[in-house]
Amino acid sequence: MDNLLEIKDLTYKKNQKIILDKINLELQPGKIVALLGENGAGKTTLMRIIAGMAKNYQGSVTLLNETKEAMRKAHLSFTDGLTGFGDSTKIQDIVHFYQVIYTDFDDEQFDQLRSFMKLDLNMRLSHLSKGMREKLIIALTFSRKADLYLLDEPFSGIDAMARKKIINSIILWKADQATILISDHFVNEIATMLDEVVVIKDKTVLTHQSTEAIRTNNLSIEEYYEGLYLKEDE
Amino acid sequence: MEFKDNIPIYLQIKQYLYRQIITGKLQPGHKIPSVRELAVELTVNVNTVQRALQQMNAEGILFTKRGEGNFVTEDTALLEQTKAKLIKAELEKFVQSMNALGVSDDQISVILSNYLIGE
């Protein structure tokens, strides 16, 4: 199958310090993939590079045959924590911004997601709990018609109900050919919905495996992931 | 439905569906839920459900009507076979855990018949 995303020998430095070192990664269409690694492993940086937000890297990032950042951006949907909006911004103003900026923003899809997530358009960012904020980010991200969706730690610090809601929305709204890359430092609660896991360690991709292949060896995804870290400690 | 994460999920989905069929929750000749409905119900990936359904189609326990979805077979012999397989699998589990408790195969049948007559 043709790759959706191809990353070749990607190295990224910040203030002379190597953050990512010779990353190679290929993702196919139609997959749900976890990007795992400890806090500070470089998961967010890798997502920002794929999304075209972090520049000046070495190596190449190709999304559907496009290597230029602006062209890549048209094929992917990434919501960077809503950091650009002030606390008093209402949800409806953020939605309006998305409608203006992104031509692929689907109003009907957003309405469905919004009612599924029980989000009120009149609420302001400052009034959203961590879980509500993540639900809003998911609703905005999935309302765009993209080939690649990047979700940066959508499950960190949220309760079980919100997590379940987000997982269900991913299963329900993911188009067949779209691929979702979800970063997390913990895999247990999302393991059953994953096709593949990518583990980042020591600034590079340590392993990229199919989850069902891991289970064929009678290992749970969590045991496998923890095992990769234990080896180091011995 | 809780899955064990150290056994391939598609195998567990198959077991779950066999059980639904044998216990009559999914009736012979009737349509089963769509791939996406099953995925949400079981909190699993659509691809994983598809893999399970493809295998069950190949086995003949399910059949596909184009554009309509997957249906449970009406082949009674095949349904009986499937039930026999499930029973055998349960017996294997039972015997294994009895063996692990130090009960020999000979003792199992004695213990079991005693249990069943209420001793």
Show the CA angle centred on residue A54, arms to residues A51 and A59, nearest 5°: 85
Q: Which site among B35, B38, B47 would you substitute to test the A interface, given the most A Cβ atoms closer than 10 Å to its Cβ?
A: B47
Cβ-based contacts of B3 with chain A (< 8 Å): 192
Cβ atoms of A226 and A232 within 8 Å: the answer is no
- Supply the pLDDT for residue A1: 58
Show the CA angle centred on residue A31, arms to residues A222 and B72, nearest 5°: 95
Q: Which site among B13, B38, B46, B49 would you substitute to test the A interface, given the most A Cβ atoms closer than 10 Å to its Cβ?
A: B46
In angstroms, the CA A174 to CA A88 distance is 31
Q: Which tens digit of pLDDT belongs to each residue from B58-108?
A: 999 999 999 899 999 999 999 999 999 999 999 999 999 999 999 999 999
In angstroms, the CA A57 to CA A41 distance is 17
Cα of B26 to nearest chain A Cα, Å: 23
Tokens 């957003």, residue located: A110
Tokens 């180091």, residue located: A232
Tokens 């790759």, residue located: A3
Q: Which residues in chain B belong to E strands, given as ranges? A: 62-65, 69-72
- Supply the pLDDT for residue A189: 85
Residue A36, strand partner residues? A184, A199
Q: Please give the residue of chain B at the shortest CA–CA distance from A192.
A: B44
Residue A33, strand partner residues? A181, A196
Residue B39, C-beta contacts closer than 8 angstroms, at least 6 positions apart: A171, B45, B46, B48, B49
Tokens 């096709």, residue located: A195
Q: Which domains does chain A have, with CATH numbers?
A: 5-233 (3.40.50.300)
Cβ atoms of B41 and B1 within 8 Å: the answer is yes
Predicted ipTM?
Answer: 0.84
pLDDT band at B2 (very low <50, low <70, confident <90, very high): confident
Q: Which site among B1, B43, B50 would you substitute to test the A interface, given the most A Cβ atoms closer than 10 Å to its Cβ?
A: B43
Instruction: Provide the residue-wise pLDDT of chain A in tens; the chain has 234 residues.
Output: 589 999 999 999 999 999 999 999 999 999 999 999 998 889 999 999 999 999 899 999 999 999 998 899 999 999 878 888 999 999 999 999 999 999 999 999 999 999 999 999 999 999 999 889 999 999 999 999 999 999 999 988 788 888 888 899 899 889 999 999 999 988 888 999 999 999 999 999 999 999 999 999 999 999 999 998 876 555
Say if residue B1's pLDDT is above 80. no
**A170 alpha carbon, distance to own chain's centre:** 11
pTM: 0.89
Q: Which residues of B touch A (CB under 8 A)?
A: 3-10, 36, 39-40, 42-48, 51
Start-end of H helices in A80-186: 91-101, 107-117, 130-142, 160-173
Cβ atoms of A49 and A21 within 8 Å: the answer is no
Cβ-based contacts of B43 with chain A (< 8 Å): 164, 167-168, 171, 192-193
Work out how many CB contacts closer than 8 A connect A with B. 55
Percent of chain B residues topping a pLDDT of 70: 99
Q: Which residues in chain A belong to E strands, given as ranges? A: 5-14, 17-27, 32-36, 58-63, 76-78, 148-152, 179-184, 196-201, 204-210
